[in-house]
Chain A
Amino acid sequence: MSDKKKKEKSEQGMPGKMPPAPGRIQNPGAVIKRLLSYMKEYRLRFTLVIICILISAGASALSAMFIQVLIDNYLTPLMTQKNPDLTNLHIMILCMGGVFAVGALAGLAYNRLMVTISQGIQKKIRDEMFAHMQTLPISYFDRNQTGDIMSRYTNDIDTLRQMMSMSIPQMFSAIFSIVTVFAAMIVLNRWLTLFVLLFVGLSMFVTKKIASGSAVNFVAQQKQLGDVNGYIEEMINGQKVVKVFTHEEAVKEEFDRKNEALCQSATAANTYANILMPIMNNLGNLQYVLIAIVGGALAIFGISSITPGVIASFLQLSKNFTRPISEISSQINAVIMALAGAERIFALMDEESEQDSGYVTLVNAKYDENGNITESEERTEMWAWKHPHGDGTLTYTKLCGNVVMDGVDFGYTPEKTVLFDVSLYAEPGQKVAFVGATGAGKTTITNLINRFYDIADGKIRYDGININKIRKSDLRRSLGIVLQDVHLFTGTVMDNIRYGKLDAPDEECIAAAKLANAHDFIMMLPDGYNTVITGDGGQLSQGQCQLISIARAAVADPPVMILDEATSSIDTRTEALVQKGMDGLMYGRTVFIIAHRLSTVQNSDVIMVLELGRIIERGTHEQLIEKRGKYYQLYTGAFELS
């Protein structure tokens, strides 16, 4: 564990490893192409969506033109007649009613279709991402912070959903409106069109200015917010210490300082965001007025052949031209953020999975009449390694739990070796202990045995088989590991124990709990085995969590057990009881123990003292005491393990 922590820290300090700032995309083309590939399944529906969007946008474009047509083509000619015949006009209105109804229906259709598409794609990406994440090697989780990975499931997917369900349809219909309205404007009057374009350019310039000011302040706000939230988190988690030291006043002072800074940047950021809309709106209004004046001037002073009707409809059109433009500009930000999020998601999905070229598998076995091991269909108490060879033959090796390491060198990074020439032999039934300071490489050795990290071929053998040839899932199934940092999952106590063996009946889980000495306190919990524990077992003490995790490993009943500081928070008396239970279980099995407390390892068959990645002493407790070396110093308390 400690090795992992260290690496995380050095990673944090490394510049350039930070997640890319939102809004920066390395390769937008590739991201879009990949997103489109998810659309494939919905090809038909998406085509339908586009058609419906066009119909709906067409209807709303017609609604904008409608008034002008009504005035110029119907009302103005009719006004000159003495007894106007309104039949045509009424027919036209009814026809429009039909068109509008179709438009609204098309709107409903594409909105609902789009929900299915965007939710479906979102779910697919989410599920694929999680499934892929499960295949990633441990080193990936060392390199990346939890919060960073989490944000892909929360923020990134959410922006993607918003883009698909809102931005894309809006942009499609906006582009359509812009094209049609622009065509209509050109037809009506070129000069006025040019004027509108100039004005649009101006307002886009203003928008860009405000948006960039807003971006700077939003970044500052995010930073301050992170600062305040970080402080809140540290202080709430340390609240009991604050209380014990009656340090409330000092903490409040510091908090107020940070809170004030956040308030300032939040005000600045929101101010920019808030003034954008009124400015855009009223620039639109200003444009309206100017068109009226310019149009009026053109008409009255005869500069261009322009009729009042043209000006009136141009006024309407200009509004319908600027609206979609500001819609697009407000959506572009969302699209960029979503694409950046998608890129981060795809980056996770492109991470290389854990390599596994193992072909030796673990099977249920039995002896046939000749005393040879054969594969069995049913669950037997015996397991064997099924080893197919190059020449097509199969051999079966009984699973015993014999582990051999032979001159292993290892480093998490090529530059820094953390294990030097480590050799060990663990016979079935033996208890092998590792003792040494933090960072001596104890956990690293166990990480290699279960292939969380891989080393060069042939250096580690399990029952005589090169572990690189064993399929990882089978290798790990044959190893039980109890880690120092206990991780329980939200669910009942029973569920948590059963995690070790999913088909274990209740009795088996309870038996495992008794073995781990956890039964008594579990029965004291409000609902016994059905008590729901949340998160990392907040309502249980560290020692109790450790007992449950031992029960979890016990129920899996593997031939090899690795106990990495598994009893560090348990008092010595309970520990002795647990060990007694475990010894019964472990009879004839291989156990690796890592511990700080020497009383935990004392009765091991062999104890290895590690220092800076090397085994410096090995032997039984008695032998090591006799040797008067490092172990002796540790034992007599002359030396402290850090």
Chain B
Amino acid sequence: MLKELAKSIREYKLLSILSPLCVMCEVVLEVILPFLMANIIDNGIYKENWDYIWKTGLVLAIVAFAALVFGALAGRFAAVASAGFAKNLRHDLFYKLQTYSFGNIDKFSASSLVTRLTTDVTNVQNSYQMIIRVAVRAPFMMVFAMIMTFRINPTLAMVFVVFIPFIALALGLIIRFAHPVFSRVFKTYDKLNNVVQENLHGIRVVKSFVREDYETKKFNDISDRIFRDFTKAEKTIAFNMPVMQLSVYSCILIISWIASDNILAGTMTTGQLVSMMTYVFQILMGLMFLSMIMVMVVLSRASGERIVEVLKETPDIASPDEPVTELNDGSIVFENVRFSYSGKADRMCLDGINIKINSGETVGIIGGTGSSKSSLVQLIPRLYDATEGRVLVGNRDVREYDIEALRDNVAMVLQKNVLFSGTIKENLRWGDKDATDEDIKRVCRLACADDFIERMPDGYDTYIEQGGTNVSGGQRQRLCIARALLKKPKILIMDDSTSAVDTKTDAMIRKAMLEEIPDTTKIIIAQRISSVMEADKIIIMDKGKVAAIGTHEQLLKSSPIYKEVFTSQQKGSEENV
């Protein structure tokens, strides 16, 4: 995992190394300080040697200042390196995401991908900064302080040798006990947030079913669990400080006991005793920090793992090594196609599909909720790959094409379509970034969108809110059609994309397409029979299988499903108009 994450450090490697180096320098200086201070007390103040006081004082001041500079530099480097690392990580994740197929995206789900790219990256960034600064500082401080204590008095230094393993063991035990509880707490927290979020989104459902008490109980149960687990974990962590205090105090007392003998015997000075005490604090604080960092790193490990999952995922659809970049024409053939989202044989979404569509034809597809109409057409621009059998476009297997070339020629208006925040023009130019204003107006006319756009106060420069919430459903659909038309595709697929458009406009759009882009193969999925009636071919889907193919007249005779739908939709108009 670490290796995978480390790949994103790149240009910040130097700073990532410089930062701990500066920390080391700072530590060395900080450890020397008490040593010099001991000298000031012993040789200067007690001996009333003014000369010595100010000279050593000056050295001390310089050392302190240098430590300050090194410390500040380390902080700066760490900030640059960790922010840069996070930037690269986000960059890598986002770029990786762009190579994902629909299948990859479905596997992670959009909301989980958002968390991984946002919260998880921030977590890793924070621990990275922690590691290159504090994680080096603590052990280095300990080792260096130990060396100094050995220089002052090896016998006394042995006290640490006895105590450190004891403390390390105690801290280790605390973390061992607390960590699983903590990670459980965080999972429960996710649940709690989920309950609140669903409650907020569905507050009208809650209120109309009078389920306030039920929801409160659901919340309280989880809240209770958090309370119990968190209390348990924090009570364990509460041992941390007393253990440290006890160790510090014990060291102080034992050292004082032995040092008193030494001082009275003349083998040690009082100044040395004072600096010894400073080292006691430094060593034990180092341990304390180490335990804190360990907790943090362990907690952010989960984030790291989630990020690596995204980075390691292999896109399951990629262009072949020697891709074909030209499409001959807009003909489509399905050959014995079977398809399942999970890849498992028992839940086939599409089964035994054999369809032939000639270039330039208009094809209608109808079928009930869940009859796999959308799944069928998504195989054409290779949004998913067929599980078995093959899909041919322009007489070649779609898997032989360069994906970008294929998708540029197969324009698709998705059912759950999205506009992005930006002006109408910017949104339309997704279809063709070099499109002239004339081009844009032309496709808008084709999609019957020019009227309402021109009526808007800013016309084509009207700003679309995120998700396109400031235009109506029918307007959004027409903009999406215009956007797809700008690609000048050989195949145009419209997945239920005129459902919110009135029948008259719907007919006008179809007429315009028939006249203006006669060579383009047009595939229309619709719920309204009137949208597909005039098509060259109508495909009726039922439970993942092709139930019938034919023209309107043929199907009226041969397909009972088609007839039923047709009469149910036509009934009103025939009787009354």
Contacts and interface: CB of A to CB of B under 8 A. Distances in A.
A547 B369 CA distance: 10
B307 interface: no
Contacts of B72: 275, 278-279
A616 interface: no
Interface centre among B83, B99, B248, B261, by most chain A C-beta atoms within 10 angstroms, is B83
Interface stretch (A71-79, A373-381, A415-423, A582-590): A71-79
A535 B64 CA distance: 56
A127 B261 CA distance: 61
Interface centre among B220, B224, B527, by most chain A C-beta atoms within 10 angstroms, is B527
A543 interface: yes
17 contacts: A9-B469, A59-B245, A63-B248, A75-B270, A86-B264, A130-B216, A135-B212, A245-B431, A248-B98, A260-B87, A264-B83, A285-B33, A490-B198, A552-B209, A572-B569, A621-B572, A637-B502
Contacts of B473: 642
B76 A274 contact: yes
Given A483-B205, A622-B576, A238 B420 contact: yes
B503 interface: yes
B194 interface: yes
A36 interface: no
B68 A292 contact: no
Interface centre among A93, A232, A268, by most chain B C-beta atoms within 10 angstroms, is A232
B383 interface: yes
B85 to A, nearest CB: 10
Given A134-B199, A146-B197, A315-B41, 18 more contacts: A75-B264, A108-B242, A138-B207, A150-B200, A236-B97, A236-B117, A240-B416, A244-B411, A245-B407, A266-B125, A270-B82, A278-B68, A288-B60, A288-B64, A296-B45, A476-B208, A571-B367, A635-B577
A308 B45 contact: yes
Interface centre among A123, A283, A299, A541, by most chain B C-beta atoms within 10 angstroms, is A123
A287 B106 CA distance: 61
Interface stretch (B145-153, B250-258, B290-298): B250-258
A242 B414 CA distance: 11
A70 interface: yes
Interface stretch (B49-57, B166-174, B386-394, B435-443): B49-57
B241 interface: yes
Interface stretch (A249-257, A424-432, A459-467): A249-257
A288 B238 CA distance: 33
Contact of B84 (A263, A277, A489): A263
B116 to A, nearest CB: 10
Interface stretch (A110-118, A174-182, A327-335, A405-413): A110-118
Contact of B260 (A66, A86, A141, A599): A86
B204 interface: yes
Contact of A499 (B118, B211, B404): B211
Nearest to A107: B242
A266 B129 CA distance: 12
Interface string B200-225: 11111111111111111001100110
Interface in B424-446: 430-431, 433
B325 interface: no
Interface stretch (A96-104, A183-191, A192-200): A96-104
A246 B383 CA distance: 11
B381 interface: yes
Contact of A244 (B214, B219, B412, B527): B412
Contact of B64 (A255, A267, A289): A289
B212 A570 contact: no
Contacts of B420: 234, 238, 241
A37 interface: no
A491 to B, nearest CB: 10
Contacts of B202: 487-489
A367 interface: no
B210 A477 contact: yes
Nearest to B501: A640
B316 interface: no
Contacts of B421: 234
Contact of A239 (B110, B231, B347, B483): B110
Give the interface residue-count category, chain A.
35 or more
B117 A241 contact: no
A130 B196 contact: yes
B67 A74 contact: no
A78 B270 CA distance: 13
A315 B37 CA distance: 10
A71 B273 contact: yes
A243 B105 CA distance: 11
Contacts of B54: 293, 296
Interface in A112-142: 112, 114-116, 119-120, 122-123, 126-127, 130-131, 133-135, 138, 141
A524 B383 CA distance: 24
Interface in A287-311: 288-290, 292-293, 295-297, 299-301, 308, 311
A93 B256 contact: yes
Give the interface residue-count category, chain B.
35 or more
Contacts, number: 448
A352 interface: no
Interface in A312-365: 312, 315-316
A492 interface: no
Given A60-B245, A263-B84, A244 B383 contact: yes
B310 to A, nearest CB: 11
Contacts of A150: 193, 196-197, 200
Given A238-B420, A282-B71, A622-B576, A259 B274 contact: no
Interface string A532-545: 00011010011110
A5 interface: yes
Contacts of B519: none
A295 B87 CA distance: 51
B48 interface: yes
B83 A112 contact: no
Interface stretch (B88-96, B154-162, B331-339, B356-364): B88-96
Interface in B94-129: 94-95, 97-102, 105, 109-111, 113-114, 117-118, 122, 125, 129
B87 A571 contact: no
A574 B369 contact: yes
B86 interface: yes
A279 B68 contact: yes
Contacts of A252: 94-95, 98
Contacts of B252: 63, 66-67
B246 interface: yes
B57 A289 contact: yes
Which 10 pairs show the lowest CB-CB distances between chains A and B?
A278-B71, A274-B75, A487-B202, A637-B503, A640-B502, A270-B79, A642-B472, A111-B238, A100-B249, A282-B68
Interface centre among A237, A544, A602, by most chain B C-beta atoms within 10 angstroms, is A237
A247 interface: yes
B264 A78 contact: yes
Interface in B247-294: 248-250, 252-253, 256-257, 260-261, 263-264, 270, 273-274, 277
B61 interface: yes
Given A97-B253, A104-B249, A452-B207, A544 B369 contact: yes
Nearest to B47: A308
Contacts of A41: none
B558 interface: no
B475 interface: yes
Contacts of A479: 208
Contacts of B503: 637
A541 B48 CA distance: 88
Contacts of B76: 271, 274-275
B369 A570 contact: yes
A576 interface: yes
A346 B99 CA distance: 47
Contact of A641 (B239, B248, B502): B502
A521 B500 contact: no
Given A275-B72, A282-B67, A473 B98 contact: no
